[in-house]
A and B are shown apart, each in its own frame.
Chain A
Amino acid sequence: MTNTDKLETAFSEALMIEKSLIIDDLTYQSIPEWDSISHMVLISELESMFDISLDTEDVIDMSSVLKAKEILNKYDILF
């Protein structure tokens, strides 16, 4: 599975949305499925998927799919 596949799977399972909806422009709280509750699940899914522990600042900053990719880059996960 590529890193993009992993990212889409994490978002899809955490937010319970179709993978086709996971585009760079998708932002936090722009859809009902990505609320503060599912955001916590998303963080857990991403950490599990990539075997990392996200810093709290990064959890707060993860405001879009594009931003998630940028943050994951800091953990040597490239897209």
Chain B
Amino acid sequence: MLLSGKTILVTGANRGIGRAIAIKFSNEGARVVLCGRNVVELESLKASIQNDNPLNDAIVLEMDVSKYESIKQAFLTLSKSKIVLDGIVNNAGVMKDAALMMTTEMDVREMFETNTFGTIYCCQFAVKNMLKQRKGSILNLSSIVGLNGSSGQSVYSASKSAILGFTKSLSKEMGTFNIRVNAMSPGFIETDMTAGKSDEYYERNLLNIPLKRFGSVEDISNLAVFMMSDNSSYITGQIIGIDGGMII
């Protein structure tokens, strides 16, 4: 198994991509630290993981990445339990589609506080934790929209684009400690965040994907496993597209 002996924290683990990543990590032998706002869903996920992997001592931590104090308390809990992280996947995110003129101040704040500031603060605390063993892997979730932009998603795009510069810079800062920092930029991935869109929306997007299918959470979790594993030990500062060749 690729992640045996590793402890990896996943934010937004209660559903969608985060949940798939957590399950995949567990199946690859990692002890997963399941973080999110909905503790009931996280406990249910933990039970499911332990049903499949009885020896997995998964941990549930309540964490609202949009709130600095919440992140701080979660990491303090880890520290007091002497849990040292081998990796973190900053997955938690929100997407609120709207033309700029129709985007409320509250939505701007929510997207930046969750997608951008949450990632930054989680990295800040994770790095302090990882410094103890002078190694680690950080994987931030950006988006193809953060790379290329998308009409009706200017603020979401901005919040995800910021992660790219942050990732590249942090990788340079942390290289000396053998802490790798990378980002992935998913294209159109079928999750509950993309559910409920019109058929026209799906058809229009499919036309722009050379591989002629939408991505799945399994596609994302497979890449996340690789990025957390020692097989990617010489990869840092990279933005890895996982989009079927999508053009936007």
Contact = CB atoms under 8 A, between A and B. Distances in A.
Interface in A21-38: 37
B209 interface: no
B80 A51 contact: yes
Give the interface residue-count category, chain B: 10 to 19
Contacts of A53: 72, 75-76, 79, 125
A77 B238 CA distance: 41
Contacts of A51: 76, 79-80
B131 A40 contact: yes
A72 interface: no
B80 A43 contact: no
Contact of A44 (B80, B132, B176): B132
B84 to A, nearest CB: 9
A78 B127 CA distance: 27
B91 interface: no
Contacts of A40: 127-128, 131, 177
Contacts of A47: 79, 128
B131 A44 contact: yes
Nearest to A50: B79
A64 to B, nearest CB: 21
Contacts of B128: 40, 43-44, 47
A48 B84 CA distance: 10
B129 A44 contact: yes
Interface string A44-60: 11011001110010000
Chain B CB count within 10 A is highest, among A43, A48, A56, for: A48
Interface in B70-85: 72, 75-76, 79-80
Contacts of B124: 56
Nearest to A40: B131
B117 to A, nearest CB: 13
A69 B132 CA distance: 21
Contacts of B79: 47-48, 51, 53
A47 B124 CA distance: 13
A44 B76 CA distance: 12
Contacts of B177: 37, 40-41
Contacts of A43: 128
Contacts of A56: 124
Contacts of B129: 44
A53 B127 CA distance: 13
20 contacts: A37-B176, A40-B127, A40-B131, A40-B177, A41-B131, A41-B177, A43-B128, A44-B131, A44-B132, A45-B132, A47-B79, A48-B79, A48-B132, A51-B79, A51-B80, A52-B76, A53-B75, A53-B76, A53-B79, A53-B125
Given A47-B79, A53-B76, 9 more contacts: A37-B177, A40-B127, A40-B131, A44-B129, A51-B79, A51-B80, A52-B76, A53-B72, A53-B125
Query: When A and B form their complex, which 9 residue pairs have the shortest distance between CB atoms, in order from nearest?
Result: A44-B131, A53-B76, A44-B128, A51-B80, A53-B72, A41-B131, A44-B132, A48-B132, A37-B176
